[in-house]
Structure 1
């Protein structure tokens, strides 16, 4: 790589490799622990410091809506505050990825993917598991109950968390690894990429990248979503059913790809599986 680039392809000893593995694991613990701490702090704030809301008419609520609580652009749904919170969390995870990475390009690359997947169980715990039921999006998720936040207020963060936090980290991880493969030589192939593309772990990784992009493209069933234009006369109920089925399928396949891509991801995928069971039970109990 260019000497001007701060991160280089460096060779490490077995001892250094083990130290890097321990640092990656530590990043995962810190990333998950920070989310647990955030939930506790939000719960304390809502219980002891948040002012009780007073019922007002819709016209009064619209007048009181601040610039911070409004969408940044017309026809957007999530507010500036919701974007800001998610970008701050993205900044925290990026800082955690750069922490003690030194000039080791591959260590940074692995850290991006590791901290991203560490957030997957919490992304599941924020989702409305009973999306297609009568009370669907309003059925409280596990994080909604623990943090004392209504599910309609939490769901925008669930959407943005996937788009603004998880996806950029996973895509960045994949791009940096592909760049490494393309720039590295191999004695029996034109490049390391030509050799590694034949290996199952890389194929699973590219599959995961593909499904990450598909999840981004297949947004929830709004009139403005591109896929809705394929069925312009379909009902909202039908669009919601199609969205939920496809979204859940894509996330499931992404988790499978991550599980077989690298062994370090398996614990996060298993945590996400357990989180889905807990979340479904929570939604059913508190619906």
Structure 2
């Protein structure tokens, strides 16, 4: 049995069809964000049920032995567990299904939908970030997401890393790839191909710059240090690691800000998500600063 690519270029749309496409794209973004709220509610309900279990039962479960297969890394030296990979993979599938939903055979509609649902998740990504990462006193102080869900920040942070690498990045890279393939396949009377024409336009230049920032974020790994043995060595390594962590943090934040700035000027429909991300960054930073300054942390 032969299979063919189910999507086609639809270059001419009526005003009604354009409006319908825009409404569907906005609806996808809303569904993607409301599904986050739904997951948080489910988490809180589950936590309420778990707290109803007696302390004796909880203790007996915790004493069964080493971590389960799901709670161990996929390979030696990896930081994230199989469970974390699986949950992020399921979320990626959910967002892809939202992108495909009601896209029909419209190639451009699918292409736009991938970026729309991806950008709608950036505020959540910011709210999960460990804003106190460079704090010497409380580097694992709670983020807003950690506080709302009562999940320790040490558990949230691996999801923050994987969410960027496994969920947001593939969707944005898929969006960029499909758009570039579209530009390459269409001819232009003056420039030969539409790609040669569009790379001269500011919106496409911003999009390409944003994708380069996405790739840089994926490749820009946080520092990891070996445990020191002696007292003097321990202080020396601790100071060195603090500087590495500080450099990584500022570099990471700079790349994220450049990504959001490029996305803001890439297309007008991304602007509301970038404004939300900025608000999330300010609120999350202020909250973590208050935790470091006055409160405890999880």
Q: Judge conservation of contact 1:39–1:143 (CA < 8 Å) in 2.
A: no
In structure 2, the residue corresponding to 1:131 is in which secondary structure?
coil
* CA contact 2:133–2:139 (8 Å) conserved in 1: yes
Superposed displacement of residue 49, structure 1? 2.1
Is residue 74–residue 81 contact of structure 2 (8 Å, CA) maintained in 1? yes
Counterpart-to-counterpart distance in 2, 1:189 and 1:234: 55
Match of 1:229 in 2: none
- 1:19 maps to which residue? 20
Q: Which residue is equivalent to 2:279?
A: 274
Q: Equivalent residue for 2:214?
A: 212
| Residue in 2 that maps onto 1:149 | 151
Aligned residues of 2:123 and 2:277 also touching (Cα < 8 A): yes
Q: Aligned in 2, Cα 1:64/1:102: closer, same or farther, shift over 3 Å?
A: same
Q: Which runs of 5+ in 2 are unaligned?
A: 227-236, 293-298
1:27/1:96 contact within 8 Å kept: yes
Where 2:250 maps in the other structure, the secondary structure is: helix
Question: 1: CA distance between counterparts of 2:207 and 2:47?
Answer: 40
Match of 2:47 in 1: 46
The CA distance in 2 between the partners of 1:184 and 1:136, in whole Å, is 54
Structure 2 counterpart of 1:259, from 264, 274, 289: 264
1:67 aligns with 2:72: no
TM-score normalised by length of structure 1: 0.90
Task: List structure 1 runs of 4+ shifted beyond 3 angstroms.
Answer: 50-57
CA RMSD of aligned residues (A): 2.2
Q: Indicate yes or no: 2:28 matched with 1:32.
A: no
* 1:1-287 alignment runs, 5 A limit: 4-11=4-11, 12-49=13-50, 54=59, 63-222=65-224, 235-287=240-292
* Partners of 1:121 and 1:272 within 8 A in 2: yes
- What is the CA distance between 1:199 and its match in structure 2? 0.1
- Residue-by-residue CA offset, 1:187-224 (whole Å, 9 max, x unaligned): 21110000000000000000000000000000111259
When normalised by structure 2's length, the TM-score is 0.87
Instruction: Kindly provide the CA deviation profile for residues 237-266 of structure 1, in whole angstroms up to 9, marking residues without a partner as x.
Output: 121111101100000000000000000000
Query: Is contact 1:137-1:152 (8 Å) kept?
Result: no
Structure 1 unpaired stretches of 5+: 225-231
How many residues get paired? Answer: 275
1:136: Cα distance to partner? 4.3
- Residues 155-200 of structure 1, C-alpha deviation per residue, up to 9 Å, x if partnerless? 1000000000000000000000000001111121110000000000
CA distance in 2, matches of 1:129, 1:151: 10
Higher gyration radius (CA)? 2
- Supply the distance in 2 between the matched residues of 1:38 and 1:222 (Cα, whole angstroms): 31
2:231 match: none
